[in-house]
Every structure is written in structure tokens, then in C-alpha cells.
Amino acid sequence: DQQVKQNSPSLSVQEGRISILNCDYTNSMFDYFLWYKKYPAEGPTFLISISSIKDKNEDGRFTVFLNKSAKHLSLHIVPSQPGDSAVYFCAAQPGGGADGLTFGKGTHLIIQP
């Protein structure tokens, strides 16, 4: 049973436009949500996180939106740059750190020139 789902295995976006990566979850106990970026042959790199008490968190070109009622979050990258081409993982964790991160299967973002 997949508790964190990223339904788009890949996404192609033109350079300079907005990239929107989506993530859905089923476990209502999740309190923290994180986005990681992964290049081939490297470990995932933390991008941005959001607590369930917020609905938006922004860091430079990256903004994460959380819709708790829909159990849905999204990562917006504006403007998209060639270096953003990577696999993006959505992850979630219950409050109190009682469990490790539960990851989605990732979305491969391709930024086209």
C-alpha cells in the first residue's frame, strides 16, 4: 500500500516556465512533508519542507503548497532552469519523528532549452 504517491513518472518543462510537481498521500498521521532532488549517482538532496500547520512554504525559486483536506502537496519551481533536471522525491513523516521518511517513487523532471 503506497502511502505517498507521485503519479507522474516524468515531466517535461521549457526553461523559464513554471514546473509543478504533484504528490498525494493517504496517511492522515503525516505531519511533515519534504521534497528531495536526486541526480544520477548521488544521494537525494533536501530542497524544502512544510509542516502540516502551514499551507505554503517558500524558498527562493521553490514553493511547496499543502492542501490537507485533499491530502495533496505540490512543488512549484519558478523559473525552471536546466540544472533543475533531476528526479524529485516527495517524502512524508508522522509527527514526533516516530518513523523514518516515507517516499514517493519520484518524478523525473526534464527542463528543455
Partner 1 sequence: KAGVTQTPRYLIKTRGQQVTLSCSPISGHRSVSWYQQTPGQGLQFLFEYFSETQRNKGNFPGRFSGRQFSNSRSEMNVSTLELGDSALYLCASSSLLGTGGNEQYFGPGTRLTVT
Interacting residues with partner 1 (CB under 8 A): 31-34, 36, 41-46, 49-51, 89, 91, 93, 95-106
- Closer CB to partner 1, residue 5 or residue 61? 5
- Closer CB to partner 1, residue 77 or residue 104? 104
User: Residue 85 CB, nearest distance to partner 1 (Å)?
Assistant: 19
User: Residue 36 CB, nearest distance to partner 1 (Å)?
Assistant: 8
Of 88, 103, 90, give the one whose Cα is nearest residue 11.
Answer: 88
User: Residue 3 CB, nearest distance to partner 1 (Å)?
Assistant: 11
What does the DSSP 8-state code read for residue 83?
G
Cα 56 to Cα 39: distance, rounded to the nearest angstrom? 26
- Closer CB to partner 1, residue 43 or residue 60? 43
- Who contacts 3 (Cβ-Cβ below 8 Å, separation ≥6)? 25, 26, 27, 30, 92, 102
Cell numbers of 45, please? 538532496
